[in-house]
Structure 1
Amino acid sequence: MYRKAQTWICFLTCWATVSLTITLQDEASSTVSTSQCLAECICLSFTQVLCNTGGLHEIPNGSLPLTVEDLSLTKNNFPIIRREAFTAHRYLRKLTLDGNNISLIKPFAFRGLPHLRKLSIQHTPLSYVGQYSFAALQNITMLVLAHNKIRYIEGYSFAGTDNVKFIFLSNNPLVTIQSYAFSGLKNVERLILPSGIKEIESDAFNNLQHIGLLKLTYMDLKRLLPYTFRALSYVHVLSIQESDLGVIYKDAFTGLRRINNLNILNNKIDAIKQLNLSADNEIGTFRFLGNHILEAPRASDTILDVGTISALNNHFPCDCQIHNVLESDFVNGSTMEFQLHNFCISPIEFNGKPMSVVDFDGIAKCHEKVFKDNLGSRGQDLRSTLILIMFFLAVSNFF
């Protein structure tokens, strides 16, 4: 009995000692957390800190627990994010900078954050993405740059950034994508650009590689310049849709390589000077669907050496240009099938009607028509000249 009592007393003593130790550790942790937390912030733990609407005028680099993983700095007052602004907090996994008056992000602002998975910068006056602003980010899951005032993206803005699942640039008044804007960006599952883009410079996508989905929608372009897509490679889906593409110039797609699916869908196209997708481009499936083309390319300027072609529900000119279309690579197989599933945009009497209702045998080819028109014009000029000569001869004989 006495031994049992001793055993119980020993057990209770040990338990009390352990409990007291844990309590003291918790109190110490709480004290350290409070001492390391800024007055403008709430440190929920050593890993989660909120500094929202606190009136911060600079980023508190090193003024917070060094172990913080989730840092929210919303609705503060720092207009500039400086180079390597967060290096003291290298364990950051989630960084939220929404609602600040950010107008400038310096090159390599986020370098030194190897564990960062989500970065959000939304609802700011940021007007452009500068060179190397988002360079050297590794293994980030989500980069959200939506709902800002971004009007253009400079070259090399994302250089050296790899393994990004999603980049969202939606809801920005983006006007221009400059040359090499995405150069050095690799392994992105989805790159979502905003509507309203007015200019894409040559080589805008140069050295952008290994992309799941690159979607360009609701653009208002005057032209698709030569080498727009040069050195864009290893893309699962490149989709250009619901846009005014203006004039597609020669070599617009030259240098594009290894695209599983190239979709050109429901666009207005003023003219196609050349559409050359050669075997070197290595295009798997080319879908040209629902487009309205005002001026068709010559047959020799349409080269579609791709795995699979689908050209349906498009509207082509049904004047002399139609022979160029019917003799081109757009017709992949039966000419009759192509005419059944595509439509006329001009002349006005055939607008919206299937191409199959038009008697193309009665329409001269464009070069023949031009030749006949020129011949007729020369004949008219010759007749006018002869009449004038006869008139002067008659007048001279009269006097």
Structure 2
Amino acid sequence: MIKKITLDHNRIFNIEPFAFKGLHDVEEISLRWNPIETIPGFAFAGIRNVTHIYLGYNKIKSISGYAFAGTEHIEILVINDNPIKTIESYAFAGLKYVKFLLVSSTVKQLHQDAFNGLESVDQLKLDFFNLRTTKPHTFRGLTNCRVLTIDNSDLGLVAEGAWSGILNVSQVNLFNSKIDQIADTSLATGSQVHHLNLTGNHILSLSPDLQIEKFVTYGLKSIYLSRNHIPCTCHFAVLQDQMADIMDLSVLQADNYCISPQDVSGKNLAHMSATCYKTGLKKQNSVQTTQERSSEEDSNLKKGNIEDDSPRQIGRRNENEDFWKNSEEDEHYFNNVDHLRFNKILFYWLICHCLIGNIFTGGTATDRLIK
């Protein structure tokens, strides 16, 4: 009775659908260190008693939809150290009671619903992903997951609805990764994540509309942030207040750091908070007061209640006075020009008159002028 099939270090290039059908007693399949380039749909269908599959150190570039459909009892699935570029929708559909699923590869395209149909998984670990965008509904259909861990990855832009449809996930860990921006509704209605752990990440930008209160509404019970580098804006200072009920703010401020702007880069969040509340909020209030005062002045002017002596209107009056003054000077200038033109025309007329008279009567032009 064969319990384990080991096909490591062979020249296996392809796995055909239903390739292992009929191996009823096999519990473990190892296909490591082979030049396998893709895992097609239903590659492992028909092996209901297999509990362990190892696909590390191959040349796998893509995982097709329903690649593991028909394998009901897989507990351990390890796909590490492969040059995977694409994981298609429903790639893991059909897996029901997985204890540990590892995908450790430089994945560039993670299609929406990639984990849809993965009915229950204790630990899902994704390493070294290199995404430009974490697309909407990427994790839709991922249900009954105790721990989802994303480590050493680039998630790019975490788009609107990226976490929409993720249900009954106890904890999400994001470790040592880079995020270009987190959209304000990345964790949308219908998602259920209870605990969020962000450690050692670089977050380059936060949506100005991001509200932690939304995440709390959708079931977030606690959040832990440590050794992260975060944009130090006054908006984030407001977000800190929203986290007060679900985390220790003293830990947040002492153990996380500013990534921007440059003058506070590398300093902890406590410095940012103090600076923001002392200067940023005052500046905001000052701007608001100025805007309100300007609006009030315009309203009173329209009603005729006051004579407008504000610097703005004084400047406008000065501009009008300068305009009319310049207009008068221009008019005087053109009048002088007209006089000069008239005198020049009169002079030429006299010269011509004298020359014509000299031709018909004799004598010089000088004589004509004397006469």
Does TM-score exceed 0.5, indicating one fold? yes
Partner of 2:102: 168
Q: Does residue 390 of structure 1 match 2:321?
A: yes
Partner of 1:221: 155
More helix by share: 2
Q: Which amino acid aligns with 1:132?
A: Y
Q: Does residue 263 of structure 1 match 2:211?
A: no
Distance 1:343 1:76 in 2: 48
Answer yes or no: is the 8 Å Cα contact 2:11–2:35 preserved in 1.
yes
Count of residues paired in the alignment: 308
Answer yes or no: is the 8 Å Cα contact 1:250–1:275 preserved in 2.
yes
Q: Which SS does the other structure have where 2:206 is aligned?
A: strand
Partner of 2:116: 183
Note the 1:1-399 alignment, pairs <5 A.
Answer: 47=1, 68-170=2-104, 172-198=105-131, 199-255=133-189, 257-269=191-203, 270-272=205-207, 273-276=209-212, 277-278=214-215, 280-294=217-231, 316-317=232-233, 321=235, 324-325=238-239, 328-332=241-245, 341=254, 345=258, 350-351=264-265, 352=267, 354-355=270-271, 358=275, 360-364=277-281, 367-368=284-285, 371=288, 386-398=317-329, 399=331
Q: Which SS does the other structure have where 1:392 is aligned?
A: helix
Q: Shift of the alpha carbon at 1:210?
A: 1.4
Q: Which amino acid aligns with 1:194?
A: D
Q: TM-score, normalised by structure 1?
A: 0.67
Answer yes or no: is the 8 Å Cα contact 2:228–2:256 preserved in 1.
no
Q: Please, which runs of 5 or more residues in structure 2 have no aligned partner?
A: 296-309, 332-371
Q: Which SS does the other structure have where 1:92 is aligned?
A: coil
Q: Which SS does the other structure have where 2:9 is aligned?
A: coil
Answer yes or no: is the 8 Å Cα contact 1:120–1:145 preserved in 2.
yes
Q: Shift of the alpha carbon at 1:363?
A: 3.7
After superposition, give the CA deviation of every residue in 1:30-73 in whole Å (9 maximum; x if it has no partner): xxxxxxxxxxxxxxxxx3xxxxxxxxxxxxxxxxxxxx321122
Q: TM-score, normalised by structure 2?
A: 0.71
User: Which has the greater radius of gyration?
Assistant: 2
Greater Cα shift, 384-393 or 245-254: 384-393
After superposition, give the CA deviation of every residue in 1:243-263 in whole Å (9 maximum; x if it has no partner): 221221121011464434211
Distance 1:204 1:333 in 2: 26
Change (3 A) 1:366 1:79: farther
Distance 1:77 1:209 in 2: 37
| Identical amino acids, percent of aligned pairs | 20
Change (3 A) 1:126 1:262: same
Answer yes or no: is the 8 Å Cα contact 1:257–1:283 preserved in 2.
no
Q: Which SS does the other structure have where 1:221 is aligned?
A: strand
Distance 1:146 1:335 in 2: 36
Distance 1:190 1:206 in 2: 17
After superposition, give the CA deviation of every residue in 1:346-382 in whole Å (9 maximum; x if it has no partner): 6655551533754834443575455578799999986
Distance 2:64 2:253 in 1: 49
Greater Cα shift, 71-80 or 358-367: 358-367
Answer yes or no: is the 8 Å Cα contact 2:152–2:175 preserved in 1.
yes
Greater Cα shift, 110-119 or 334-343: 334-343
Aligned CA RMSD, in angstroms, stands at 3.4
Answer yes or no: is the 8 Å Cα contact 1:119–1:142 preserved in 2.
yes
Partner of 1:298: none
